[in-house]
Amino acid sequence: MATSFIRKLVVSSLLFFSASVATAQTFVFTAIPDEDETKLVERFQGVADYLSEQLDVDVRYIPVKSYAAAITAFRNNQVQLAWFGGLSGVQARKLVPGSEALAQGVEDKAFETYFIANTSTGIEPADNLADLADELRGKTFTFGSKGSTSGRLMPEYHIREAFGEAPEDVFSRVGFSGNHTRTLRLVEAGTYQVGALNFQVWKKEMDDGNIDTDAVRVIWKTPPFPDYQWTIRGDVNDRFGDGFKEKVKQALLNLKDPKLLESFPRSGFIPVSNDAYEPIRKTAEEIGILD
C-alpha cells in the first residue's frame, strides 16, 4: 500500500513538473537586420512586451547579425516567429514545411524599392529605368543585404530587365552594404554613386530630417510588390497548445500602439498567406537566387 502511494506521488510530481515546464516555455522571435541594430532592439523589445501580455507567455526577441542567420534560427527552431522580408520569408518557409505567413504591414501589400543617386552624378529622376541606361552604365552601385527583397532581389530583377545584363556587367563596381540605412549613407557620402533601398526607410529618414537632399536624390521607383511579413512555424500548437498560432495572428492584427507601429514604420497589420509571395518566389528562381 505504501509502495502504491509512493508510485502515485511520483507520477503526480512528474505530471506537475511537465506541466510547469510546458507553461514556462518561452516563445522566441527574431527579425531580419534591415536597419541599425539599436533601432531594431528598441522596436522589437516593444513587440515582445506586447505579445507577452496578449499571449500570456514569456516572449523574447533575439537579434541576429544577418538575413541568413534569421533564416537559420527559424529552421533550427531557435525562434518560432520571425519578421521576414519577402525573399527571406520564402526561403524560410521552404526550409520549414508547414510554416505560414500570418500578417503583413498594410504598406507591404504594395512595397517599392527606390533607386537613389549621389547628386554629383547629375542623374535626374525618370519614369522608366531603361531611360537611365546610358547614365547608369559604368557607375558604382550598392545593393543592401544579399538576402533582401527590396534591397537586392527586386532591384537586380529590374536591372536585368532594363539592360539585359547582370549588374556586374552594367556597373563598374557592385557592393552589398548590409542594410538599407547603410545604403543610404554610402550613396549620400559618395562612396557609391548609385544604390537601391526600401522606400519606407527612405521616407522615415526623410521625415526625421536625416537625409541631405543636396547630396542624394531618388531617381527611380519600382512597380509595387509584396514584401515584409510575420512568418510562424507550423508546429507551435504542439509546443504551446491548441489555438496558439491563431492567438499569435490575432495579436499581430490587433497591434494598434501608434508609437510601436511608427517604429516599423507601418500603419497596421493585415492578414496574408503564403500564396501572396508566389511572385517573389518566381522572381528569385528566374534570376537564380532561389534554387
Q: What is the pLDDT of residues 28-87, one digit of tens each?
A: 999 999 877 888 899 999 999 999 999 999 999 999 999 999 999 999 999 999 999 999
pLDDT of residue 195: 98
Residue 232 lies in a domain: yes
Range of the domain at 199: 112-221
Question: Is residue 203 domain-shared with residue 130, that is, in the same domain?
Answer: yes
127 DSSP β-pair partners: none
Instruction: Decide if pLDDT at 4 tops 60.
Output: no
Question: Is residue 94 domain-shared with residue 120, that is, in the same domain?
Answer: no
pLDDT of residue 196: 98
CATH number of the domain where residue 74 is located: 3.40.190.10
**In the chain, how many domains are there?**
2
pLDDT tens column, 83-112: 999 999 999 999 999 999 999 999 999 999
Task: Round the average pLDDT of the chain to a whole number and report it.
Answer: 90
CB-neighbour burial class of residue 256 (10 A; exposed 0-12, middle 13-18, buried 19+):
exposed
Q: At what angle do helices 278-286 and 86-95 cross, to 10 degrees?
A: 90
DSSP 241: -
> What is this structure's pTM?
0.79
pLDDT tens column, 226-274: 999 999 999 999 999 999 999 999 999 999 999 999 888 899 999 999 9
Question: Which of 221, 237, 269 corresponds to the end of one domain?
Answer: 221
Q: How far apart are CA 192 and CA 216, in angstroms?
A: 11
